[in-house]
Amino acid sequence: MSIKVWHCHNARSLRAIWALEEMGFDYEVQVMPFPPRFTEPEFLEVNELGTIPYMIDGDVHMTESSGIPLYLVERYGKHEFGLRPDHPEYGEYINWLFHSDATLTFPQTVYIRYTLQEPPERGLADAATDYMKWYHARLRRLNRFLEDGREYLVDNRFTIADIDITYALHLGEVLKIDERYKPQVRDYLNRMRERPAFQKVVVLGEEGSIFK
């Protein structure tokens, strides 16, 4: 049985399918329009949260976009895409995995809600601007970290930390809230998006997408 992932174009599920593609898994993608809990209410019978990604791997069901790549590395021994606990950069690696969603993507998702999902009469434009500024402020650590010209985040090689962080930067560009990206961050983003696996999966669900 292959792994199955429910996905919306340029949504957080991109982390999961990019990781699957990089690691060479046999997997199935169910593409849906965003937001699926409204556009495809039957999806709630699969995932009561109505969120994506949703991944099924046998008896394992997962909903977290940064957790799925880590699961794949640890469960299937894909350690060429991760770091082991005894590695000197393991703490940095784990921190970037969690930083990607809790620190970077969180304000982006609130911005999406206030700009794309809430009716204008609710008067939430100022709140959306506040969350955009929050996202910009949360880029400070990454801006500083990449100042030394490093190609990857940890261990001088591509890992799932790069997948997780690149997605957040990519979404920021899609949402047109990327004006505060420093040159080294922009270069890093573009370099990661040149990878063949990213190029293959980023177009899934593109037709009719609200995130282009």
Q: Which domains does the chain have, with CATH numbers?
A: 3-82 (3.40.30.10), 90-195 (1.20.1050.10)
Q: What is the dihedral of CA 155, 160, 161, 165, to 10 degrees?
A: 140
Q: Are 75 and 68 in contact (CB under 8 A)?
A: no
| 27 φ, ψ (degrees, to nearest 5) | -145, 160
Q: Name residue 4's beta-bridge partners.
A: 28, 56
Identify residue 53 by its one-letter amino acid code.
P
Mean pLDDT for each 10-residue chunk of the chain (212 residues)? Answer: 92 98 98 85 92 97 98 98 99 99 96 78 76 96 97 99 99 96 98 99 87 70
CA dist., res. 9 & res. 134, Å (int): 24
Pick from 132, 165, 206, 133: nearest CA to 12: 165
CA dist., res. 177 & res. 194, Å (int): 21
Q: Name residue 126's beta-bridge partners.
A: none
CA dist., res. 84 & res. 14, Å (int): 24
Helix (H, G, I), strand (E, B) or coil at 112: helix
Q: Could you tell me the two tokens for 88?
A: 């000197």
CA dist., res. 73 & res. 81, Å (int): 7
Q: Supply the Cα-derived Rg of the chain in whole angstroms.
A: 17
CA dist., res. 52 & res. 39, Å (int): 13
Contacts 24+ apart (CB under 8 A), 143-148: 143/182, 143/184, 143/185, 146/182, 146/184, 146/185, 146/188, 147/184
